[in-house]
Structure 1
Amino acid sequence: MPMNPTPHPVTEAPLRFWHRDAVVERCHVPPDRTLLDLLREDLRLTATKEGCAAGDCGACTVVVAEAVNGCLHYRAVNSCIKPAHAIDGLALWTAADLAQADGTLHPVQQAMLACHGSQCGFCTPGFVMSLFALYQRTVALGQGVDKHSAMEALSGNLCRCTGYRPIVQAACSMGEQPNRRLNETPIVVALQALADTAPATHRSAYQRPTDLHGLLQARAHHPQAQLLAGATDAGLWLTQGLRRLPQIIDLTRVAELRRVEHYPQHIAIGAAVNLQDAFEALAADRPVIAPFGERFAGWPVRQSGTLGGNVANGSPIGDSMPLLIALGAQLVLMAWRKGRAVHRHVPLEQFYTGYRQSLLAPDEVLAWVVVPKPLPGEWLGVYKVSKRHEDDISAVCLAVQLHVENGHINAVRIGAGGVAATPVRALKTEAALLGQVWNETSLQQAQTVIQQEFSPLSDLRASASYRRQILAQLLRRAWLESTGHLTVRLEAVA
């Protein structure tokens, strides 16, 4: 820690949320206070554990819910990287809130007990909360839980003891316990009352505009403020980088940016749409994206992080950008200037100017990601190479879009991540392929080009030579899959 840390500025607006049948209100909460610190240090709710403080292990998982059309929508989130103010107006549950007053366990807890799903126990609260969110989405509504949905729900939780089998078994057996459905009505009423009496935050250090007009004006008045969406990366600035964020503009409540809009030629994904919903929207037109989306990150990160935030953050190892570059995505950047909203469109591959630098002006906001719909004959392959299969950052990410007619490539776009200071488009490799017969000869030529096109770094995830080799081999994999080889993927073999 710095010897003389800068004092936290305080927000004028109180933080209010529902917890344990009552509204909790806290004043003078710094804008960059994490939810985990609020729970453990301020409220002394120590059932939630701190593990990695980086959103990787899931020990700190809690469940939040917002009212949507009179019902609660539940999400498991990492409290270690979630700003405390991000749950204003929401409902919250921790692992200490599930059992009844007489000690009767919740079905999730009873299933974990019956299946011996805990050993040392440190990670158990996080697993229980991920399962509680799954329970509310499925079992409480009369649906079952299969192994795939259990593994997906638990993809953001790590355990060093059990080997996961008993935890997955507990997830699949939750429905065998007596159903415990929450009475959501009083919670929805309480959340609506909070919304109706929400204080203005436009003068606060943590601003939560609810419409696009308010967001653009807030950005125009405070260009130095940090824009946040899911904070799945920015949270690490606080916990790992020990940075301070004295002023924050949170765009996750902006109604216009929480939608996926469908048009005849494209879809527009709002900057506040979470990663899970964004990948589902993309996979509706291109099913190959679905398994790639599942590997992007664990469930809590995909529920909190946003596609717009991933793009705006501009990490060279962000997985969504190579895919979007291959799909020909454009960004809609907006600002409030001279009393009105203005916008411009920028192709994604032209957006980045350097390491975590972009064309985004200080008063601008990334509002939408516009993705063309597939044309007849499109083939798409998207690949992620990482040390762990799940819940890990890529060493290399490659996305290839092809149109092959009469054996010749008449259109190609290739996006790559992990091989340069920014996500990049492989223009030289595309030029080597365009117009060529899609065969072993043109493939080998393109493999040589793509290995020479970039100058990747060596770091803890992979060496430069390994990254070059992987680029070439992923291109071969794309050739094999696009020419009809059906046993390239392990899941295809299974």
Structure 2
Amino acid sequence: MRDTIQFLKGGKVVELEDVGPTETLLDYLRLRRRETGTKEGCGEGDCGACTVALGRLIDGKLTYQPINACIQLLGMVDGAELVTVEDLFQDGRLHPVQKAMVELHGSQCGFCTPGFIMSLFTLYHAEGASKSRKTVTEWLAGNLCRCTGYRPIVDAALEACFDAADDTFSWRANETKEKLQVLADSRDVFIGDSNRFFSSPATLDGLAALYGQHPDATLVAGATDVGLWITKQMRDLPKMIWLGRIEGLDRVEVSPSGVLIGASATFEATEEAMTDIASDLGELWKRIGSKQVRASGTVGGNVANGSPIGDSPPALIALGATLELQSADGSRALPIEDFFIDYGKQDRQPGEFVTGLFVPRLSANHAFRCYKISKRFDQDISSVMAAFRFTIEEGTVLAARIAYGGMAATPKRAKGAEAALSGALLDDPATWGAAMQALLSDFTPLTDMRASAEYRMETARALLAKALMEVSGTAPEDLRVLARREAHHDHAA
């Protein structure tokens, strides 16, 4: 067992033994290291002012990803290379991204600038990124500039980020890989005592044993949700278990029957596999948070925390996904919709944790659609999330799986509408009416700051009609493409 965390910064190994369970990476940088280039803005992973880069070995390649330091726990940088804006200025020279930002006037008041630079640093080191305005705006969707300085920032990105990387980090990449390989040991990390600790087991058996002893501990994977419990709810979480070092828990295994996703696999790591199952899933995955959030946030965490407005559960329910759980006493599997019991309550016993989920592929007679409705296109919480899987034979709906988020205390199937849709004809919209009416009995939505109950119900019914129209071929297909283009255009404007 190891009682320290260790990571690289500036090419050197940093080892820390005084790591609190809720200490954030942002606080460590600003308060302990006095590196104040990383700014504190929203404190919830929305504005990007605190963006730093973490370098890790992914499939043997050194990969830099943007991370929101405000909601990243300090202990979670174990085994990584930490890069902040202070690290970019080397030997009296600006980094190419910094130089382009200066020359093209990408900084105005300057508060957001370090975060933009660090996001662009990760784009600078991204392999295979296509040079386009769309690529840049999607990459920067998690960085806000209140001076409305996006145009010169995008120009700077187009100028600097799409040639082969030629900076200090690329020059010493092989050395960095070797150092990261040395840091990647298989020892459990435990810092603290039985009453207050940060821990990171290296194996599932180690996690089961520790969590069995401390079922009151908080399990954290990406901290995109738990981080807000700390920064916004000001909760004291004295026992923290990070899942990021458990061997195999980040697996993404693709097979002819479906995709097996480990509990610590991120949205970014699973995007390609989800897109392969259904193009609508790929579109949904791109709209979950920002680049920073998708690089940290996990599909397993999105399910395990049981939010009624989580984006992935309705889609996974409609697809018939299965959840895997484990404890010191053994393991079990259950349909994902059965995991959600009530608001804030899941079918999880003390000491039991989610290890992964299996998403089956669509059959030849399946049609799948999913839609996220939110006030902003990028990085916003759903007002209504809807997903539909229809089983169709010769123009007749034989069966349907329909799931919504934001309509009840949990992600929930619309079983009345499913039953009413059985036997409906795709070429006869009059046969869809019973399902539309059944939705009124399936849900009693609430009114909150995101939407009124009336809006949610009308939207839920409209989305069912939209899905049926698209599947039947009576909805112009270019309308969906146009809507996406307009949304991207509005964001980039």
Q: Deviations over 1:1-58 (max 9, x none)?
A: xxxxxxxxxx982232211121222332211101101111111110000000001111
**Number of the residue aligned with 1:5:** none
Q: Deviations over 1:436-465 (max 9, x none)?
A: 223311223322221332111111111111
The alpha-carbon deviation at position 149 of structure 1 amounts to 2.1
The within-5 A match list for 1:408-419 is 408-419=396-407
**Number of the residue aligned with 1:313:** 305
Give the Cα separation in 2 of the matches to 1:111 and 1:184: 23
Is 1:172 paired with 2:172?
no
Q: Deviations over 1:293-343 (max 9, x none)?
A: 111111110010000000001100000000001100110111112xxxx21
Total equivalences in the alignment: 476
**Number of the residue aligned with 1:8:** none
The within-5 A match list for 1:287-298 is 287-298=279-290
Is 1:447 paired with 2:439?
no
**Number of the residue aligned with 1:208:** 200
Give the Cα separation in 1 of the matches to 2:189 and 2:145: 42
User: What secondary structure sits across from 2:248 in the alignment?
Assistant: helix
Q: TM-score with structure 2 length normalisation?
A: 0.92
**Number of the residue aligned with 2:489:** none
Contact 1:384 1:398 in 2 (8 A): yes
Contact 1:206 1:248 in 2 (8 A): yes
Amino acid at match of 1:287: S
**Number of the residue aligned with 1:285:** 277
**Number of the residue aligned with 2:321:** 329
Give the Cα separation in 2 of the matches to 1:199 and 1:212: 11
**Number of the residue aligned with 2:217:** 225
Q: 2:356 aligns with which of 368, 372, 387?
A: 368
User: What secondary structure sits across from 1:201 in the alignment?
Assistant: strand
Give the Cα separation in 2 of the matches to 1:187 and 1:394: 40
Q: TM-score with structure 1 length normalisation?
A: 0.92
**Number of the residue aligned with 2:424:** 436
User: What secondary structure sits across from 1:173 in the alignment?
Assistant: helix
Contact 1:457 1:463 in 2 (8 A): yes
**Number of the residue aligned with 1:487:** 478
The alpha-carbon deviation at position 193 of structure 1 amounts to 3.0
Summarize the Cα distance change of 1:197–1:217 in structure 2 as closer, same or farther, 3 Å threshold.
Answer: closer
Is 1:158 paired with 2:147?
no
Summarize the Cα distance change of 1:18–1:493 in structure 2 as closer, same or farther, 3 Å threshold.
Answer: closer
Contact 1:107 1:177 in 2 (8 A): no
Summarize the Cα distance change of 1:120–1:328 in structure 2 as closer, same or farther, 3 Å threshold.
Answer: same
Give the Cα separation in 2 of the matches to 1:240 and 1:200: 27
The alpha-carbon deviation at position 487 of structure 1 amounts to 3.1
Give the Cα separation in 1 of the matches to 2:480 and 2:367: 16
Contact 1:378 1:401 in 2 (8 A): yes
User: What secondary structure sits across from 2:402 in the alignment?
Assistant: strand
The alpha-carbon deviation at position 148 of structure 1 amounts to 2.6
User: What secondary structure sits across from 2:387 in the alignment?
Assistant: strand
Q: 2:369 aligns with which of 381, 392, 395?
A: 381
Give the Cα separation in 1 of the matches to 2:233 and 2:356: 29
The alpha-carbon deviation at position 378 of structure 1 amounts to 1.5
Is 1:468 paired with 2:457?
yes
Structure 1 unmatched ranges of 5 or more? 1-10
Give the Cα separation in 2 of the matches to 1:198 and 1:71: 23
Greater Cα shift, 189-198 or 208-217? 189-198
User: What secondary structure sits across from 1:449 in the alignment?
Assistant: helix
Give the Cα separation in 2 of the matches to 1:109 and 1:144: 21
| Consecutive aligned runs of 4 or more in structure 1 exceeding 6 Å deviation | none
Contact 1:209 1:251 in 2 (8 A): yes
**Number of the residue aligned with 1:240:** 232
Contact 1:12 1:28 in 2 (8 A): no
Summarize the Cα distance change of 1:238–1:163 in structure 2 as closer, same or farther, 3 Å threshold.
Answer: same
Greater Cα shift, 428-437 or 202-211? 202-211
Summarize the Cα distance change of 1:111–1:326 in structure 2 as closer, same or farther, 3 Å threshold.
Answer: same
Give the Cα separation in 2 of the matches to 1:70 and 1:441: 56
User: What secondary structure sits across from 1:445 in the alignment?
Assistant: helix
Greater Cα shift, 432-441 or 365-374? 432-441
**Number of the residue aligned with 1:119:** 108
User: What secondary structure sits across from 1:170 in the alignment?
Assistant: helix
Summarize the Cα distance change of 1:173–1:363 in structure 2 as closer, same or farther, 3 Å threshold.
Answer: same
Q: 1:186 aligns with which of 159, 175, 182?
A: 175
The alpha-carbon deviation at position 178 of structure 1 amounts to 8.2
Give the Cα separation in 2 of the matches to 1:178 and 1:15: 29
Q: 1:251 aligns with which of 230, 243, 262?
A: 243
**Number of the residue aligned with 1:261:** 253
**Number of the residue aligned with 1:134:** 123
The alpha-carbon deviation at position 253 of structure 1 amounts to 1.4
Task: Indicate the percent of aligned positions where both proteins have the same amino acid.
Answer: 43
Q: 2:446 aligns with which of 439, 442, 457?
A: 457
Q: 2:77 aligns with which of 78, 87, 94?
A: 87
Structure 2 unmatched ranges of 5 or more? 486-493
Is 1:99 paired with 2:89?
yes
Amino acid at match of 1:100: Q
Is 1:399 paired with 2:387?
yes
Contact 1:49 1:122 in 2 (8 A): yes
**Number of the residue aligned with 1:54:** 44
The alpha-carbon deviation at position 186 of structure 1 amounts to 2.2
The alpha-carbon deviation at position 127 of structure 1 amounts to 0.8
Contact 1:15 1:27 in 2 (8 A): yes
Amino acid at match of 1:125: P
Summarize the Cα distance change of 1:347–1:178 in structure 2 as closer, same or farther, 3 Å threshold.
Answer: closer
Contact 1:487 1:493 in 2 (8 A): no
Contact 1:480 1:488 in 2 (8 A): no
Amino acid at match of 1:365: F
